[in-house]
Amino acid sequence: MSLLEVKGLRRDYGALRAVDDVTFSLEAGGILGFIGPNGAGKSTTLRILATLDVPTAGEVLLDGKSLVDAPDQARPLLGYMPDRYGTYDDVTVREFLDFFARAYGLKGAQRRQRVDSVMEFTGLIPLAEKLTTELSKGMRQRVALGRTLLHDPRLLLLDEPADGLDPRARIELRELLRALADQGKAVIISSHILTELAEICDSCVIIEQGRLLAQGRVEDLLRSGADASQVVELVVRLAAGTEGEAVGARAERLMLEQPRVKDVTREASALRVRLELEPGSGPMQAEAAAAALLAALVAQGLPVCAFSPRERNLEDAFMTVTKGRVA
């Protein structure tokens, strides 16, 4: 049995079905991305998993214990970081964490040790005596994450933790989450910023209007969407030159004249070319089509300095699975 099993979860708010028959599972040591646009039902699902809300129907088992029937037994196993978290005025980082360690029932030396170990893990030792109100958003978020870790939970629920963080803080967050997964913790992280989740997560659930549209390992989601759509995107970079603008326009026209080219966009010295292959085409046909485009560019004397397929990302996978379903 998986550490977390979510089965047929539903949550109605009056006539609105915010979560509709959602089923997924997560193993210890796994990082699951919970992806969906605003209003998809991510926070509602996470709040139910955090035992802060009850489902209208369905079951959630955490280490075999029902969150619905026995929330008190499941609560020590989970840590929840909401999308909006507060800190208190006039308390230092250490005091803040110590306060919550007391709330978790930790006492004496064990409490001090736990607070120190959480501060060390989250890199907060140098900031221990700083007021929480003086911290940057990235550092405040580490304090919030540290607070979530004090009771050493086995499942972490993080609602949009990367929202509003600068790129450096995001990379640091990713490393912290990877270290937690390596310790055997299961992590669920929600976001509508798809590209950054691809680097953090092992698997993903894509949810929209309360319904689960796709789930699986990130690599599989990327690949399956690509096969289904038969779309290949290429990035062509032209050497920068004095007549760059004219060269770019010539290359763009030439690409649009080629069979199977459906769209070309030009940014500075790069062209993004979208090809649509015949149904049933595979990687060999895609490579042959790309080779023909490169040959056409070179035959016209266009100064191609780089030519590569654009890697599909989660955004593409999301667009493929949600196509036509957005109300």
Ligand X SMILES: Nc1ncnc2c1ncn2[C@@H]1O[C@H](COP(=O)(O)OP(=O)(O)OP(=O)(O)O)[C@@H](O)[C@H]1O
Could you give the CA distance from residue 6 to residue 305 in angstroms, rounded to a whole number?
50
Stretch touching ligand X by CB under 6 A, among 31-39, 116-124, 142-150, 255-263: 31-39
- Binders in 54-73 for ligand X, by CB under 6 A: none
Does position 225 interact with ligand X (CB under 6 A)? The reply is no
Question: Which residue reads 């996470």 in tokens?
Answer: 46
Could you give the CA distance from residue 319 to residue 309 in angstroms, rounded to a whole number?
18
Per-residue interface string for the shown chain with ligand X, residues 262-301, x marking contact by CB under 6 A:
----------------------------------------
Report the residue from 24, 31, 43, 140 that binds ligand X according to the rule CB under 6 A: 43
Does position 41 interact with ligand X (CB under 6 A)? The reply is yes
Token couple for 61: 């088992």
Report the residue from 4, 22, 40, 60 that binds ligand X according to the rule CB under 6 A: 40
How far apart are CB 33 and ligand X at their closest, in Å? Answer: 13
- DSSP type of residue 135: S
CB atoms within 10 A of CB 171: 13
Does position 51 interact with ligand X (CB under 6 A)? The reply is no
Does position 36 interact with ligand X (CB under 6 A)? The reply is yes
- Binders in 8-27 for ligand X, by CB under 6 A: 13, 16, 18
Beta strands (DSSP E) in the chain are: 4-13, 16-26, 31-35, 57-62, 65-66, 78-81, 155-159, 186-191, 203-208, 211-217, 231-238, 261-267, 270-276, 304-309
Could you give the CA distance from residue 48 to residue 156 in angstroms, rounded to a whole number?
13
198 contact partners, CB below 8 Å, separation of at least 6 = 33, 218, 222, 313, 314
Stretch touching ligand X by CB under 6 A, among 32-40, 56-64, 128-136, 198-206: 32-40
For ligand X, how many residues bind (rule: CB under 6 A)? 12
152/163 with CB nearer ligand X:
163
Does position 327 interact with ligand X (CB under 6 A)? The reply is no
38/242 with CB nearer ligand X:
38
Report the residue from 15, 38, 182, 326 that binds ligand X according to the rule CB under 6 A: 38
Per-residue interface string for the shown chain with ligand X, residues 102-131, x marking contact by CB under 6 A:
------------------------------
Could you give the CA distance from residue 20 to residue 211 in angstroms, rounded to a whole number?
5
Question: Which residue reads 């955490």 in tokens?
Answer: 62
For residue 92, give the 3-state DSSP assignment.
strand
Smallest CA-to-CA distance from 269 within 305, 296, 300 is with 305
What single-letter amino acid sits at 240? A
How far apart are CB 207 and ligand X at their closest, in Å? Answer: 7
Per-residue interface string for the shown chain with ligand X, residues 185-214, x marking contact by CB under 6 A:
-------x----------------------
How far apart are CB 286 and ligand X at their closest, in Å? Answer: 35
How far apart are CB 269 and ligand X at their closest, in Å? Answer: 37
Question: Which residue reads 């005025």 in tokens?
Answer: 89
Token couple for 55: 């489902």
In the complex, the residues that contact ligand X under the rule CB under 6 A are: 13, 16, 18, 36, 38-44, 192
